[in-house]
């Protein structure tokens, strides 16, 4: 629910309640005042009749009747009739409907006769007045609701425009793009405050991110030289003919360690470089040729590991960075070979707009959510750094390729489409 | 033949020299930009191993001044930066090859040997070792009595690699990286190269050569030839 709809709802409810309360109060006060007035009027008439009867010892003449009030006299034997007011309804043949009356009844001594006098006065006009008040109240409430809805639609949309524009800009914001956020100018204090804060926060995030990236790059580079020294020392050391078998094994472990470290380093550097968008050289890459070249490279490895391969290759071309596509295919084919089962198989299907690489492997699906995360490992396999697939993902993102992982009938497939 | 190693990390420089120095090569070292510039100006080398980041200057500047002075030494650039841009820049400025740290010393040795072979004008396109003759141009190998030895491409590359590193122990890892590149991350075991080694050995022996290639424990192989 929109902020203003919420606000409006509360506002309207309160306003309707206040209006109802005030109009009720108004109604009761007015009713009370008019009633009192009516009673006074009738009392004045009563007084006049009583005065007349006391003076002339007879009833006033009928001609005294005025339109509005009707006075009737009834002979009675009763004495001491209490004075009382009552409300009555009577059929008015003129108007053809029931009309309300206020009636004052009292006893009257005129000469020797005892009468019951009843003064009837129509309350029609009072009722009409009250009805009009009710109509006006309801009308006002309706008008307030309609006008606030209209204001919401027209004026508020305009007032909130800077907010929605700022949100659209923030939505497009991607860290590491090195683009300054430019918010539309606004004079609303809250939006100025919001925009300033957003600007500062994103600038800070951006600079922190750049620092971190620079740090990763520098750290990776700095590690390369010591690694080169260690590896070269090992290369010298193994020339010694006096080495025992045990020592050789130790040295081999050291080699493996250096290799892992160096690969990890290069993977991190690569990720940073893709983030930095340093692979800007986009050109059409012939995927068919690329894949044929790769399968030739992997041929011996597959042969040695008894991995059967089947290919279904059509001509396909993609607009991307050549080096990245190379890395992508290397990573995928390495994975398909490494995580395969003994006597397993690899199938590559290339179509003009898609590439599917599927292989036999572990008998369960990989974790879809964490698969492409950095340092994700299905098991703590010693030979993987867990960066291969996150590099694949990153390359796909920068090259506009969609990648989907599937596990069906014991085969792990990576499907790419562009 | 003299080789100049321009590298500011002394221990790395020492390793390179220690590995390269044999009956064919004499190594000289320079640890900073000025020493290197002076040595390059004064002497002639068969090949210069050049690090890009140096104290007091950039290795690529040295390369530039070298080429501007019409000196035709072979230059192998080594760098910690594995950026394609650096590689392209280096090669465009006249470097003959580019190697990223951390490299295997046998790889460095093989690259230097290849540069020197390419640079020599006296049609040094023949490598001969005992009765083994390799023709670099058409990639053919002949053994005893000039009998042709038929090698696959990988076996041929392997042989050249071995000859560039003769009498040195080479790890299987270095061999795999040389033949398949280090982009392909293989399984932990490098045993699949065994077939290639076995076939190469068999063919060389059949061609009338001594069994040059010796296995060294589980470590690797050594091409033993004493001329």
Which pLDDT score is estimated for A346? 93
Q: Which of B71, B92, B119 is the last residue of a domain?
A: B119
A286 and A386 in a single domain? The answer is yes
Q: What is the pLDDT of residues A140-157, one digit of tens each?
A: 888 988 887 788 778 878
Q: What is the pLDDT of residues B98-113, one digit of tens each?
A: 998 889 999 999 999 8
- A261 to chain B: nearest residue by CA? B102
Asked if residue A228 lies in contact with residue B84, where contact means CB atoms within 8 angstroms, the answer is no
B114 and B62 in a single domain? The answer is yes
- How close, in Å, is residue A217 to chain B by CA atoms? 10
B36 and B51 in a single domain? The answer is yes
Confidence of residue B15 (pLDDT cuts 50, 70, 90): very high
Helix (H) and strand (E) counts for chain A? 8, 11
Q: How many structural domains are present in chain A? A: 3
Of A31 and B218, the structure prediction assigns the larger pLDDT to A31
B95 and B148 in a single domain? The answer is no
Q: Find which of A232, A240, A387 to mutate to test the B interface (most B CBs within 10 Å of its CB).
A: A232
Q: What is the pLDDT of residues A352-370, one digit of tens each?
A: 999 999 999 888 888 888 8
A396 and A293 in a single domain? The answer is yes
Does A36 contact chain B (CB < 8 Å)?
Answer: no
Measured distance CA(B60)–CA(B54) in Å, rounded: 10
Query: Nearest Cα to A162, choosing from A182, A188, A180?
Result: A188
A118 and A235 in a single domain? The answer is no
Binary contact (B12, A232; C-beta < 8 A): yes
Q: How many structural domains are present in chain B? A: 2
Which pLDDT score is estimated for A349? 93
Which pLDDT score is estimated for A309? 92
Which pLDDT score is estimated for B185? 62
Asked if residue A190 lies in contact with residue A219, where contact means CB atoms within 8 angstroms, the answer is no
pLDDT at A67 exceeding the cut of 60: no
**Least confident interval from A188-197, B39-48, B134-143:** B134-143
The percent of residues above 70 in pLDDT, for chain A, comes to 96
Asked if residue B170 lies in contact with residue B222, where contact means CB atoms within 8 angstroms, the answer is yes
Query: What average pLDDT does range A400-418 have in this prediction?
Result: 91
pLDDT at B66 exceeding the cut of 80: yes
B219 closest CB neighbour out of A231, A248, A263: A248
Query: Nearest Cα to A175, choosing from A216, A214, A217, A210?
Result: A210
B80 closest CB neighbour out of A221, A337, A382: A221
Tell me the pLDDT of chain A averaged across its residues.
85
∠ Cα A251 A254 A255 (to 5°): 90
Asked if residue A198 lies in contact with residue A183, where contact means CB atoms within 8 angstroms, the answer is yes
Which pLDDT score is estimated for B53? 84
pLDDT at A3 exceeding the cut of 80: no
In a domain, A157, yes or no: no
Which pLDDT score is estimated for B30? 93
In a domain, A175, yes or no: no
The two tokens of residue A305 are: 């590991």
B160 and B203 in a single domain? The answer is yes
Q: What is the pLDDT of residues A98-125, one digit of tens each?
A: 778 888 888 888 778 888 888 888 887 7
Neighboring chain B residues of A239 at a CB cutoff of 8 Å? 19, 168-169
Query: Nearest Cα to A330, choosing from A356, A293, A370, A359?
Result: A293
Q: Which of A242, A274, A306 is the last residue of a domain?
A: A274
In a domain, A351, yes or no: yes
B191 and B90 in a single domain? The answer is no
Q: For residue A75, is it left (φ>0), alpha (ψ between -120 and 50) or beta?
A: beta
Neighboring chain A residues of B102 at a CB cutoff of 8 Å? 224-225, 227-232, 258, 262
Binary contact (B15, A249; C-beta < 8 A): no
Give the ipTM of the model, two decimals please: 0.89
Q: Which of B81, B96, B119 is the last residue of a domain?
A: B119
Binary contact (B192, A262; C-beta < 8 A): no
Q: What is the CATH number of the domain that holds A301?
A: 3.30.565.10
Residues 6+ apart with CB under 8 A from A387: A264, A267, A268, A271, A374, A375
Q: What is the pLDDT of residues A175-207, one digit of tens each?
A: 777 777 888 888 889 999 999 999 999 999 888
pTM for the whole thing? Answer: 0.68
Instruction: Give the total residue count for chain A.
Output: 418
Which pLDDT score is estimated for A404? 92
Pairing of strands A411-417, A69-75: unpaired
CA distances from A219 to A216, A228, A231, A363, B13 (A): 5, 15, 18, 39, 22
Of A85 and A289, the structure prediction assigns the larger pLDDT to A289
Measured distance CA(B135)–CA(B156) in Å, rounded: 11
Which pLDDT score is estimated for A380? 64
- The whole domain housing B78 covers 2-119
Which pLDDT score is estimated for B84? 65
Binary contact (A228, B186; C-beta < 8 A): no
B140: exposed, middle or buried (Cβ count in 10 Å: 0-12, 13-18, 19+): middle
- The whole domain housing A361 covers 281-417
Which pLDDT score is estimated for B147? 85
- How close, in Å, is residue A281 to chain B by CA atoms? 11
pLDDT at B123 exceeding the cut of 60: no
- DSSP label of B4: E
The percent of residues above 90 in pLDDT, for chain A, comes to 22
Measured distance CA(B204)–CA(B209) in Å, rounded: 6
Query: What average pLDDT does range A32-51 have in this prediction?
Result: 87
Q: What is the pLDDT of residues A240-287, one digit of tens each?
A: 888 888 888 899 889 988 988 888 888 888 888 888 777 878 899 999
Confidence of residue A227 (pLDDT cuts 50, 70, 90): very high
Cα torsion through B190, B194, B197, B198, rounded to 10? 180
Binary contact (A225, B9; C-beta < 8 A): yes
B18 and B106 in a single domain? The answer is yes
Q: What is the CATH number of the domain that holds B80?
A: 3.40.50.2300
Which pLDDT score is estimated for A174? 80
Neighboring chain A residues of B18 at a CB cutoff of 8 Å? 236
CB atoms within 10 A of CB B216: 17
A313 and A374 in a single domain? The answer is yes
CB atoms within 10 A of CB B69: 10
In a domain, A119, yes or no: yes
Q: What is the CATH number of the domain that holds A231?
A: 1.10.287
Measured distance CA(B83)–CA(B78) in Å, rounded: 12
* A-B Cβ pairs (cutoff 8 Å, strict): 125
Query: What average pLDDT does range B68-92 have in this prediction?
Result: 82
Show which of residues 312-331 on chain A sit within 8 Å of chain B, judged by CB atoms. 323, 326-327, 330
pLDDT at A63 exceeding the cut of 60: no
């Amino acid at each position: 629910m929109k902020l203003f709809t919420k606000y409006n709802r509360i506002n309207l409810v309160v306003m309707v309640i206040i209006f109802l309360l005030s109009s009720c109060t108004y109604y009761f006060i007015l009713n009370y005042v008019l009633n009192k007035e009516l009673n006074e009027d009738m009392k004045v008439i009563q007084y006049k009749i009583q005065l007349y009867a006391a003076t002339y010892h007879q009833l006033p003449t009928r001609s005294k009747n005025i339109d509005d009030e009707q006075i009737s006299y009834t002979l009675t034997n009763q004495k001491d009739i209490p004075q009382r007011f009552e409300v009555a309804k009577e059929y008015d043949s003129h108007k053809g409907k029931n009309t309300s009356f206020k009636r004052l009844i009292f006893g009257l001594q005129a000469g020797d006769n005892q009468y019951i006098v009843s003064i009837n006065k129509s309350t029609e006009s009072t009722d009409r007045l009250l009805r009009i008040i009710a109509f006006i109240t309801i009308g006002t409430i309706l008008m307030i609701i309609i006008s606030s809805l209209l204001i919401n639609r027209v004026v508020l949309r305009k007032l909130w425009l800077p907010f929605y524009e700022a949100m659209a800009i923030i939505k497009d914001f991607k860290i590491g793009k090195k683009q300054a956020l430019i918010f539309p100018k606004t004079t609303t204090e809250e939006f100025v405050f919001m925009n300033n804060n957003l600007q500062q926060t994103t600038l800070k995030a951006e600079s922190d991110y750049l620092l971190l990236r620079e740090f990763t790059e520098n750290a990776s580079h700095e590690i390369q030289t010591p690694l080169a020294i260690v590896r070269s020392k090992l290369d010298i050391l193994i020339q010694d003919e006096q080495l025992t078998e045990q020592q050789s094994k130790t040295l081999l472990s050291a080699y493996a360690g250096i290799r892992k470290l160096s690969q990890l380093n290069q993977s991190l550097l690569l990720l940073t470089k893709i983030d930095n968008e340093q692979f800007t050289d986009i050109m059409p890459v012939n995927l068919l040729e690329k894949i044929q070249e790769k399968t030739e490279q992997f041929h011996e490895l597959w042969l040695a590991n008894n991995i059967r391969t089947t290919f279904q290759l059509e001509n396909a071309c993609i607009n991307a960075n050549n080096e990245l596509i190379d890395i992508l295919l290397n990573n995928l084919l390495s994975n398909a070979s490494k995580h395969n089962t003994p006597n397993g198989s690899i199938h590559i299907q290339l179509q003009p707009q898609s590439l599917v690489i599927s292989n036999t492997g572990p008998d369960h699906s990989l974790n879809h959510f964490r698969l492409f995360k950095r340092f994700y490992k299905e098991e703590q396999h010693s030979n993987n750094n867990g960066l291969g697939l996150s590099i694949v993902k990153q390359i796909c993102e920068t090259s506009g390729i969609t990648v989907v992982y599937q596990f069906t009938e014991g085969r792990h497939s990576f499907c790419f489409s562009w | 033949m003299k080789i100049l190693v321009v590298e500011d990390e002394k221990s790395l420089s020492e390793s390179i020299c220690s590995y390269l120095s044999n009956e064919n090569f004499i190594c000289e070292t320079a640890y900073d930009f000025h020493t290197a510039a002076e040595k390059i100006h004064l002497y002639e080398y068969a090949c210069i191993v050049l690090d890009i980041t140096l104290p007091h200057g950039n290795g690529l500047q040295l390369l530039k001044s070298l080429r501007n002075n019409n000196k035709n030494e072979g230059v192998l650039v080594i760098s910690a930066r594995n950026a394609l841009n650096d590689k392209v820049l280096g090669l465009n400025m006249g470097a003959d090859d580019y190697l990223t740290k951390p490299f295997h010393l046998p790889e460095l040795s093989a690259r230097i040997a290849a540069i020197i072979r390419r640079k020599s004008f006296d049609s040094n396109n023949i490598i001969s070792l005992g009765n083994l003759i390799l023709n670099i141009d058409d990639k053919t190998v002949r053994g005893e009595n000039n009998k042709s030895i038929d090698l696959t491409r990988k076996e041929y590359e392997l042989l050249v690699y071995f000859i560039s590193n003769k009498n040195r122990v080479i790890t299987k890892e270095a061999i795999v990286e040389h033949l398949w590149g280090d982009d392909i991350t293989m399984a932990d075991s490098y045993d699949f190269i065994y077939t290639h080694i076995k076939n190469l050995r068999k063919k060389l022996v059949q061609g009338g050569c001594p069994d040059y290639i010796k296995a060294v424990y589980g470590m690797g192989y050594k091409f033993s030839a004493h001329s």
